[in-house]
Amino acid sequence: MTKVKVRPNLVKIITFGFATAITLWPFGIFLRRIEYLSNHRMINHESIHWEQQKELGGLLFYVLYLLEWLIKIPFYGKRSNMNLSSEREGYFFRDDLDYLRRRKRYQWLKYIFKQP
């Protein structure tokens, strides 16, 4: 297993907000604590979201994310966020630190209808 390589100016630390980590393309990956920089699984998960957002130009990603969440909330309730296609890809491959090197574009589409 290799270490996740992230551009140094891509990851930023914020001490406010509700999320442990959040990716906001094109601004960066925001972590709540500096210690999370050593959490390779978290960085890899957020880096996968970076690629997803980059593919869709950011705004379209957020629109699709919200739309999918609204559709899935009646089925999954509080767990609907974890059942979104982009999150499924991120969680499924967060331990595979080489995934981004071989990832094909729009891989998250595979997870829209796939059951958890």
Residue 3 located in a structural domain: no
Q: What is the pTM for the complete model shown?
A: 0.86
The answer to whether residues 43 and 37 touch, using CB atoms and an 8 Å cutoff, is yes
10-residue stretch averages of pLDDT, the chain, 116 residues long? 59 75 92 91 96 94 95 92 94 96 95 75
Residue 2 located in a structural domain: no
Structural domain boundaries, residue 28: 11-111
The encoded tokens of residue 66 equal 């919200």
Number of domains in the chain: 1
Residue 16 located in a structural domain: yes
Q: Give me the pLDDT at residue 93, please.
A: 97
Residue 5 located in a structural domain: no
Q: Give me the pLDDT at residue 14, please.
A: 74
